[in-house]
Amino acid sequence: MTNQFQVSTITPAQWEAFITAHPRAHVLQQWAWGDLKAAFGWQSDRIALINTSGEIAAAAQVLYRRLPFRLGTMAYLAMGPLVSDNMQGASDQLEVALWKAIDATSQKHHAAFLKWEPGIFANLSSNAITDISVLSTQYPALPDGFRPSPQTVQPPNTVMIDISSSEESIMARMNQGTRRKIRQSLKNGITYREGTKADVTIFTGMMNTTGERNAFGVHDPTYYAKAYDLFVPQGDSALIIAEHEGDPLAGIMVFAKGQTAWYLYGASSNVKRNLMGAYGVQWAAIQWAKAKGCTEYDMWGIPDADETTLEAQFESRSDGLWGVYGFKRGWGGSVVRSLGAWDKVYNPVIYAAYQLALKVRSKAE
């Protein structure tokens, strides 16, 4: 550790101020996200480096999950670390100190390896995705030891919508079918409102219905209730509910931080689906994000395939994230891929067992 930058204990308010002001601000680096995951089987640790003026110069929230058979933990760093752009020539020194602190903290938590998802998007070939050098523009002092991971936690592919222009311009970029369904949803007497804590029960009921209908797993109802408590009262999220004559039709939990909003959780009921409430509630979420000052809207998760494959297969496939791609593709966004996941190994024996377990699970599926 250098004398110029020191690891320091900070308050949640200081952390949030730094995250919010950063150009790569992300919900998964918010203090509240660490609290949410800590309530459901993870541990969280926040690493903040302070400069000589007492200001946060870099930050990384790292989560830890226990591995089976008392084999330690997996450390997980998502959508960070975040390093200040205002270090006047000391950025490499700062980054070296930050990565050392991340390693030390991970080893304190008995991590067998660190899984890192930097959350950086780029138009890359499949070969470039595995080249660590592509991260050097964002992290010029990146230490040795990272390797492409066989497992991602967050979906690497997404659809990103530019919402910096007018609502008319946003809608003009959508395909004709999506525009028509949005307009239909606005003419059917559906009401769209920001939900209260009492509406979380309605939302979780629709989440269970959606999971059963589309064969994917959903969180326990207490998870969504906790997320509501941590984010909605602070203004960093909204639960938007679509209803028609007392019947709940659809719901979205949308999150926002800095310039970006994320569509993390969405659900719809099995009643009156012909009214297109799922389209109207998504449009209401985009309008909420614009009102928050966001300029981009992340649809959060589509199949990990190139755009040619996506377009060739979306009408014939409904497994995994294919079931949602047909919906998300119509909103006028761009298909982008992140740099995926990278692993740094602290215990080679345990890491080898982890890789073997992934291969066995993949064959079983």
Q: What is the pLDDT of residues 169-202, one digit of tens each?
A: 999 999 999 999 999 999 989 999 999 999 999 9
pLDDT of residue 86: 73
Residue 18 to residues 141, 215, 237, 239, 363, Cα–Cα distance (Å): 21, 39, 18, 25, 43
Q: Which residues pair with 263 in a beta bridge?
A: 254
| Model pLDDT for residues 283-314, shown as the tens digit of each residue | 999 999 999 999 999 999 999 888 899 999 99
Choice among 230-234, 243-247, 336-340 with the minimum mean pLDDT: 336-340
Choice among 1-15, 65-79, 84-98, 186-200 with the minimum mean pLDDT: 84-98
Q: What's this model's pTM, rounded to 2 decimal places?
A: 0.94
Looking at residues 67-85, what average pLDDT do you find? 94
| pLDDT tops 80 at residue 126 | no
Residue 177 to residues 174, 242, 262, 285, Cα–Cα distance (Å): 8, 20, 23, 19
Average pLDDT, the chain: 92
pLDDT of residue 2: 44
Choice among 1-10, 301-310, 325-334 with the minimum mean pLDDT: 1-10
| pLDDT tops 90 at residue 132 | no
Looking at residues 231-238, what average pLDDT do you find? 98
| Model pLDDT for residues 239-270, shown as the tens digit of each residue | 999 999 999 999 999 999 999 999 999 999 99
Q: Dig out the tokens for 199 from the structure.
A: 């509406």
| Model pLDDT for residues 34-62, shown as the tens digit of each residue | 999 999 999 999 999 999 888 999 999 99
pLDDT of residue 318: 83
Domains of the chain, earliest start first = 6-153+340-364 (3.40.630.30), 157-337 (3.40.630.30)
Q: CA 200 to CA 221: how far, in whole Å?
A: 8
Looking at residues 319-324, what average pLDDT do you find? 84
Q: CA 121 to CA 301: how far, in whole Å?
A: 13
The proportion of the chain whose per-residue pLDDT surpasses 70, expressed as a percent, equals: 95
Query: Is residue 124 very low, low, confident or very high in pLDDT (cuts 50, 70, 90)?
Result: low
pLDDT of residue 1: 41
Looking at residues 114-134, what average pLDDT do you find? 75
